[in-house]
């Protein structure tokens, strides 16, 4: 018997329908800018002015690519991550890199879009909290302090600090879910 | 009546600070889906609160920048204008025979625009399936235009894309080494452009396919795996499947069948990919099972592939799947089931003019008849194929015709053997310029 050829579908070379019929690039920019800027500025610590330039280059590249883009948001996010990494590589030649530069090569960057969206929402939710509550969450979750440490810092009892940590987490979650709730 | 009690959030929040096995040790939590879901949600919230980005106080403007908006819209407008002009010019350029295209382009320097490059690349895509040689010429025109564009990133991007498409067309026309040179040239340009990571991965995928073809297997696996990772990040499920498929086929070529099978099965299970990829993976997994002599699994996968190809309207692929199915039946010595299927497959190939496959399917029929001890029927089987070739009257059928005529003579002389059928098969599968002549020895 002969060895039949395996089914090998070549990857599409198909150029996209050029710019004809494409969505307005300005609308795409307005839609995705907050997320992309968050990624560049917050995840990769790129300055806002430089991030805006990178954003422009990413959109230019998106417009120039001749192939069909399956998932526009994922494409733009991945391109923004790559542009930010490249930015730091360039900067690395002239100035010291941020301490957590390794984190910038996040292997899970396919989920960066979702992660960034959650972070943006959580930032919004935190803005609605009372300052004391925000400080409690900062001390416990971000700084990693125990309830005893938090109590010391806030000059209260550890039992009350535990209660505070729980209530503040509960409150921020309520706000978070009210922001993300789908209105019927 | 027993009312189920659940933990409230306060109790569940205490588990956040506990070691991970605390959950499994807890009698209720270990078995309560609802509480586990709430705990997961709490963990997610706690995780986000640990991210520096959430607490970063550096202000970032929320409003879009009007200058960026104006710049991007201006670029889009100029590209649209270029594309509109190119839509008219390309018809004039590609009128007449292929040989006239380059001189005509030289007469019109005003046609050297980015829009024209995009239009030509789009045109090559439709030409590649109809007249592949045209696609090569068209992409060469596109590349020639890019050499005259002003030196800026967008032009370099287009030049790299033109090289990629030229490589693709060359690969399609069976010139892998020339294709690889173009892919390498495209990769050099893309690698210097931070925003071209995705396009570079597209080039790498094609490089992997050429490497596989020229048996540079380790390189092919390495390049394809890296490309798959990039496509995954860019959310392109079909290209992830393409890259993983290229890796699997390379492993298959290296007889690392189990590894290849695992990859094909993972493509089958992937919900992010299109049906064409899934069905192709079913067929490829079946071939792995066949090579592992797990024939029942192979047939089960082939049945699914046959149905899938039928739904997709890919009738040639469907026939090829049925061909493999019939071959497995022969391997299982189920000749009575295999022979009708082989004859149907041969008819399918006759209808679509796949001459070599008609001849190869005829060889399978002859081999099955020989194995079944029905030697007297071999002559008739060959005659049916010969009738088809003589009716077709095409020059391409000549080697196939010669092969089957030889086989029929051998059958008539009562000297047909498995070994002789193998000789004919080797003759058919050899490159056209490297075929050894078929001689029937004189009777002793």
Can you give the pLDDT at residue A106?
41
Which of B51, B83, B234 shows the shortest C-beta gap to A19? B83
Measured between beta carbons, the chain B residues lying within 8 angstroms of A144 are 50
pLDDT tens for A80-128 read 999 998 888 877 655 555 544 444 444 344 477 778 788 888 888 888 8
Would an 8 Å CB–CB cutoff place A7 in contact with chain B?
A: yes
User: In whole numbers, what is the pLDDT of chain A averaged over residues?
Assistant: 79
Average pLDDT, integer, range A157-167: 91
Taking Cα atoms as reference points, which of B142, B167, B168, B165 lies closest to residue B155? B142
Buried b (16+ CB within 10 A) or exposed e, B16-46: beeeeeeeeebeebeebeebeebbeebeebb
Can you give the pLDDT at residue B242?
92
Measured between beta carbons, the chain B residues lying within 8 angstroms of A68 are none
Report the alpha-carbon distance of residue B278 to residue B139 in Å, rounded.
Answer: 31
Report the alpha-carbon distance of residue B289 to residue B295 in Å, rounded.
Answer: 6
- Chain A's closest residue to B210, CA to CA, is A10
Report the alpha-carbon distance of residue A93 to residue A80 in Å, rounded.
Answer: 20
Taking Cα atoms as reference points, which of A136, A171, A134 lies closest to residue A155? A136
Can you give the pLDDT at residue A14?
44
Instruction: Phi first, then psi: give them for residue B218, nearest 5 degrees.
Output: -60, -40
Contact B201, B235 (CB under 8 A): no
Instruction: Phi first, then psi: give them for residue B184, nearest 5 degrees.
Output: -60, -40
Report the alpha-carbon distance of residue B145 to residue B147 in Å, rounded.
Answer: 5
Q: Is B364–A2 a contact, with Cβ atoms under 8 angstroms apart?
A: yes
Would an 8 Å CB–CB cutoff place A35 in contact with chain B?
A: no
How many CB pairs below 8 Å do chains A and B form together? 235
Q: Is B233–A109 a contact, with Cβ atoms under 8 angstroms apart?
A: yes
Which of B235, B276, B330 shows the shortest C-beta gap to A1? B330
Which of A29, A57, A122 shows the shortest C-beta gap to B54? A122
| Token reading at B144 | 């020639």
Q: Is A61–B79 a contact, with Cβ atoms under 8 angstroms apart?
A: no
A129 compared with A117, residue with greater pLDDT: A129
- H-run or E-run covering B125: helix B114-130
Can you give the pLDDT at residue A92?
65
Q: What is the pTM of this model?
A: 0.72
Can you give the pLDDT at residue B393?
60
Measured between beta carbons, the chain A residues lying within 8 angstroms of B235 are 70-71, 73-75, 78, 110
Would an 8 Å CB–CB cutoff place A136 in contact with chain B?
A: no
Can you give the pLDDT at residue B213?
86
Would an 8 Å CB–CB cutoff place A159 in contact with chain B?
A: no
Can you give the pLDDT at residue B247?
95
Can you give the pLDDT at residue B155?
92
Half-sphere exposure of B138 (CA within 13 A, CB side): 27
- CA B343 from chain centre, in angstroms, equals 28
Q: Is A11–B198 a contact, with Cβ atoms under 8 angstroms apart?
A: no
Can you give the pLDDT at residue B152?
87
Which of A12, A18, A115 shows the shortest C-beta gap to B122? A18
Q: Which residue has the tokens 């382009």?
A: B105
Q: Collect the ranges in chain B with pLDDT lower than 70.
A: 1-4, 392-399, 428-444
- Chain A's closest residue to B160, CA to CA, is A65
Other beta carbons less than 10 A from residue B267's beta carbon: 21
- Chain B's closest residue to A143, CA to CA, is B50
- H-run or E-run covering B362: helix B355-371
Can you give the pLDDT at residue B431?
59
Which of B69, B158, B425 shows the shortest C-beta gap to A29? B69
Q: Is A110–B209 a contact, with Cβ atoms under 8 angstroms apart?
A: no
Which of A55, A66, A119 shows the shortest C-beta gap to B68? A55
- Chain B's closest residue to A64, CA to CA, is B154
Beta-carbon contacts of residue B40 (< 8 Å; ≥ 6 apart) = none
Q: What is the DSSP letter of B28?
A: T
pLDDT tens for B340-384 read 999 999 998 888 777 778 888 888 998 899 889 888 888 888 877
**Interfacial A residues in 39-68 facing B (CB < 8 Å):** 41-43, 48, 52, 55-61, 63-67
pLDDT tens for A40-67 read 988 888 988 999 999 999 999 898 887 8
Q: B10 vs chain A: nearest CA distance in angstroms?
A: 6
């Amino acid at each position: 018997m002969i060895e039949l050829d395996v089914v090998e579908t070549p990857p599409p070379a198909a150029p996209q329908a050029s710019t004809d019929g494409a969505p307005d690039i300005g609308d795409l920019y307005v839609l995705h800018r907050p997320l992309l800027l968050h990624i560049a500025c917050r995840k990769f610590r790129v300055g806002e002015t430089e991030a805006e330039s990178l954003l422009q280059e990413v959109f230019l590249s998106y417009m120039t690519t001749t192939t069909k883009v399956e998932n526009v948001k994922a494409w733009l996010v991945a391109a923004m991550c790559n542009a930010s990494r490249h930015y730091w590589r360039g900067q690395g030649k002239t100035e010291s890199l941020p301490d957590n530069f390794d984190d910038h090569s996040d292997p899970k960057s396919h989920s960066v879009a979702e992660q960034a969206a959650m972070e943006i929402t959580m930032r919004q939710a935190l803005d609605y909290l009372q300052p004391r509550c925000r400080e409690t969450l900062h001390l416990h979750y971000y700084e990693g302090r125990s309830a005893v440490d938090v109590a010391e810092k806030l000059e209260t009892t550890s039992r009350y600090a535990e209660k505070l940590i729980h209530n503040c987490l509960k409150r921020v979650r309520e706000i978070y879910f009210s922001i993300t709730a789908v209105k019927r | 009546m027993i009312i189920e009690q659940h933990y409230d959030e306060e109790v569940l929040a205490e588990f956040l600070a506990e070691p991970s096995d605390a959950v499994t040790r807890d009698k209720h939590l270990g078995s309560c889906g609802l509480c586990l879901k709430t705990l997961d949600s709490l963990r997610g919230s706690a995780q986000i609160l640990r991210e520096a980005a959430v607490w970063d106080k550096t202000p970032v403007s929320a409003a879009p920048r009007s200058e960026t908006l104006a710049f991007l819209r201006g670029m889009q407008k100029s590209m649209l204008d270029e594309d509109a002009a190119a839509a008219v010019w390309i018809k004039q350029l590609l009128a007449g025979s292929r040989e006239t295209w380059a001189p005509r382009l030289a007469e019109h320097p005003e046609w050297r625009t980015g829009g024209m490059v995009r239009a030509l690349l789009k045109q090559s895509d439709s030409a590649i399936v109809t007249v592949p040689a045209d696609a090569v010429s068209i992409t060469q025109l596109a590349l020639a235009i890019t050499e005259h564009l002003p030196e800026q990133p967008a032009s370099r991007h287009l030049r790299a894309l033109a090289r990629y498409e030229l490589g693709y067309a060359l690969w399609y026309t069976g010139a892998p080494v020339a294709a690889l040179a173009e892919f390498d040239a495209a990769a050099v340009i893309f690698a210097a452009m931070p925003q071209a990571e995705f396009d570079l991965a597209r080039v790498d995928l094609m490089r992997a396919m050429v490497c596989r073809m020229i048996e540079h297997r380790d390189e092919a696996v390495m390049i394809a795996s890296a490309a798959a990772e990039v496509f995954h990040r860019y959310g392109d499920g079909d290209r992830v499947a393409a890259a993983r498929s290229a890796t699997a086929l390379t492993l298959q070529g290296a007889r690392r069948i189990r590894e290849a099978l695992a990859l094909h099965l993972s493509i089958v299970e992937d919900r992010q990919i299109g049906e064409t990829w899934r069905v192709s993976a079913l067929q490829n997994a079946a071939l792995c099972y066949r090579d592992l002599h797990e024939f029942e699994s192979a047939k089960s996968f082939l049945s699914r592939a046959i149905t899938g190809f039928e739904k997709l309207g890919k009738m040639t692929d469907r026939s090829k799947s049925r061909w493999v199915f019939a071959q497995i039946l022969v391997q299982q010595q189920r000749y009575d089931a295999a022979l009708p299927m082989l004859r149907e497959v041969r008819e399918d190939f006759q209808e679509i003019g796949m001459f070599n496959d008609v001849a190869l399917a005829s060889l399978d029929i002859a081999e099955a008849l020989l194995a079944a001890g029905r030697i007297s029927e071999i002559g008739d089987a060959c005659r049916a194929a010969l009738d088809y070739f003589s009716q077709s009257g095409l020059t391409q059928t000549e080697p196939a015709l010669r092969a089957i005529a030889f086989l029929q003579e051998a059958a008539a002389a009562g000297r047909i053997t498995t070994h002789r059928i193998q000789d004919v098969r080797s003759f058919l599968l050899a490159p056209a310029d490297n075929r050894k002549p078929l001689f029937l020895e004189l009777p002793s």
